Amino acid sequence: MTPSRRQPARSRITVLRHKAVLATVPVAVAALIGAAGPTATGATGTEGAAGAAGAGDPYFPLSGNGGYHVRHYDLTLGYDTSSRHLDGRAALTARATQNLSRFDLDLTGLKVTGVTVDRAPAAFRRKGQELVVTPRHTLRAGRDFSVTVTYSGTPKPVTDPDGSADGWIPTDDGAFVAGEPQGAMTWFPANAHPKDKSSYDITITVPQGRTAVAGGVLLGQHTAHGHTAFHWRETQPMAAYLATATVGKFQIEQYTTRDGIRVYNAVDPREAPAAAPVLKELPSVLEWESRLFGPYPFRSAGSIVDHAPDIGYALETQTRPLYDSAPDISTLVHENAHQWFGDSVTLTAWKDIWLNEGFATYAEWLYAEQHGGDSAQKTFAALYARPASDPLWAYPPGDPGSGGNIFGPPVYARGAMTLHELRKAVGDRDFFRVLRAWATGNRGGHGTTAQFERLAERISGKRLDGLFRTWLFTKGKPNSA
Ligand code: ARG
Ligand code: ZN
């Protein structure tokens, strides 16, 4: 079973002090201009339509936005760990996928003080989690455009439908920044649905003595006037929910693996004794996973081990998983397996979450099986023995039904059980071929449940629709083969 530490914590939201931010005159003026309706035309007279307010995900209808793709985010942040105030400037390079008279970004809380599009001031207004931007001119389909947003305030996490918190979560020495499924919008304006993947530059300035850690490679670190700026770059496509800018007092360890992967571990000293023996295994875990799933999909790796045990979960932040306390080996295996399943091969809808969690959980079972622990069959059998009334069978993993169910036991454990059933049906040889082909064939991109089924059928030459229907989509405890 999934260790309880990864289960969402319930109804625990840190109460934050609100810091009054004075609205500047340009904000008020821009807000007035921003009152243009959905059929607004640009000053050129070219017709365009408004980009959709969401990416069309039924579980999180306002997550993501229509009409454009973000190619690159360049985020410049300053965080004051004592006042919990964040100053931000986001510079986005995007490409219009339709003629756009206006478009949305996802951003919640915080105060926006200016927006430009192609370097010209643009009108904007706030509407719930949508930052609605109306550029001076219609943006032409297929063309690149740039957006800058300047903003500041005290970030507040979002409360997810299951009661857990995600986003920018303050800690006693900084912030634990985890964006799955919704929290990216609590700290930067984004096209925040996993359908949209982008490269990132993140520069974070924090008080000297604190460290700010994001994904990818640390390009530079500069201290002046009592502050340190950390510049991180992730060149490989990343979904917004996998970005982090976690801040704290950390011990740093850096090295390069035999495979040339650059490792950066940041560990809260309070967690260091418990974390050390587990983090030591990271290179061998990555090598083991690479043998099973194909080459590690990124150039950098590592861990952020925070001391924030109330959070109740870890997150597979791209290249560098984030833990709320020292992970055990199983959790390390799980979050790093997500680098293949979730981070490199990404969902197109939250309904498909078992493609992330079922796979990462099955990686834990395989690790145990190949390292002197229980066989996957034994783990499967213990779960299968649970009575029909057990929460494990509460809903089918391929159709969790709502955003409140995406991190529940059916997704993790029954999702992994589905893979074990597949393994029994096609045999080890084809099963491991399927896992590897899934990860390598969709590397850096996306995958759906239907595509996974087709791949498994193609590789095995077997009809598997019954198996997947039973294990992924049928309510109640399934019959096992
Ligand atoms: N994907 C994370 C994990 O498996 C869980 C994230 C939970 N997020 C949340 N808001 N409850 O390991
Ligand atoms: Zn997971």
Task: Give the Cα-Cα-Cα angle 359, 181, 330 (nearest 5 degrees).
Answer: 35
Beta-strand (E) ranges in 97-164?
A: 100-106, 111-117, 120-121, 123-127, 130-134, 144-153, 158-159
How confident is the model at residue 46, as a pLDDT?
Answer: 62
Instruction: Please count the other Cβ atoms lying within 10 Å of the Cβ belonging to residue 454.
Output: 12
- Name the residue among 178, 197, 192, 180 with its Cα closest to residue 444: 197
Q: Per the domain annotation, does 462 fall within a domain?
A: yes
Backbone torsions φ then ψ of 442, nearest 5 degrees: -110, 15
CA-wise closest residue to 179 among 221, 215, 149: 215
Question: What are the tokens at 30?
Answer: 């821009």
- Cβ of 160 less than 6 Å from ligand 1: yes
pLDDT of residue 332: 98
Which tokens in the block code for residue 436? 């590897």
Alpha-carbon distance 438 to 421, whole Å? 17
| b/e code 412-447 from CB counts within 10 Å (16+ = b) | bbbbbbbbbbbbbbbeeebbbbbbbbbbeebeeebb
Q: Answer yes or no: are the C-beta atoms of 293 and 340 closer than 8 Å.
A: yes
Ligand 1: residue of 313, 325, 340, 347 to mutate (most ligand atoms within 8 A of CB) is 313
* Rounded distance between C-alpha atoms, residue 394 and residue 409, angstroms: 9
204 located within any domain:
no
What is d(CA 474, CA 128) in angstroms, rounded to the nearest whole number? 36
Cβ of residue 180 lying under 6 Å from some atom of ligand 1: yes
Please tell me the predicted confidence (pLDDT) of residue 32: 35
- Sequence-ordered alpha helix ranges (H) in 300-427: 329-337, 354-370, 376-384, 409, 415-426
Distance CA 246, CA 236 (A): 19
What's CA 259's distance to the chain center, in Å?
25
User: Residues with Cβ within 5 Å of ion ligand 2?
Assistant: 357, 360
Supply the CATH number for residue 396's domain.
1.10.390.10
pLDDT of residue 480: 77
Number of domains in the chain: 1
Q: What pLDDT, on a 0 to 100 scale, did the predictor assign at position 47?
A: 83
CA of 312 relative to ligand 1 center, distance in Å: 9
Assigned domain for 409 exists: yes
* Nearest ligand 1 atom to alpha carbon 335: 12
CA distances from 327 to 6, 49, 356, 426, 446 (A): 10, 48, 19, 33, 28
Ligand 1 centroid to residue 224 C-alpha, Å: 36
* DSSP state string for 38-68: TT---TT----EEPPSS---SSSTTSS-SSE
Q: Which atom of ligand 1 is nearest to the CA of 2?
A: 4
Helices 415-426 and 428-441, interaxial angle, to 10°? 120
Q: What one-character DSSP code corresponds to residue 185?
A: G
Residue type, 347: L
Cα 333 to averaged position of ligand 2 atoms, centre (Å): 10
* 3-class DSSP assignment, residue 428: helix
Q: Average pLDDT for consecutive 10-residue bins of the chain (481 residues)?
A: 38 28 34 36 63 97 98 98 98 98 98 98 98 97 98 98 97 98 98 98 98 98 98 98 99 97 98 98 98 98 97 98 98 99 99 98 99 98 98 98 98 98 98 98 98 98 98 94 65
Identify whether 363 is part of a domain: yes
Distance 123 CA to ligand 1 centre (A): 36
User: Residue 307, SS3?
Assistant: coil
Q: Is 343 in the pocket of ligand 1 (CB under 6 A)?
A: no
Q: Which ligand 1 atom is nearest residue 183's CA?
A: 10
Question: Taking the model in full, what pTM does it have?
Answer: 0.91
Q: Measured from the CA of 357, which atom of ligand 1 is nearest?
A: 4
Q: Are 340 and 294 in contact (CB under 8 A)?
A: yes
The answer to the question of residue 370 being in a domain is: yes
Residue 193 and residue 228 in contact, taking contact as beta carbons nearer than 8 Å: no
Would residue 373 count as lying in a domain?
yes
For residues 323 and 19, the answer to whether their CB atoms sit within 8 Å is: no
Q: Return the closest-CA partner of residue 348 out of 211, 277, 451.
A: 451
414 within some domain? yes
3-state secondary structure of 75: strand
Residue 389 placed within a domain: yes
Q: Which domain holds residue 439?
A: 348-473
Look-up: residue for tokens 């979450």?
Answer: 353
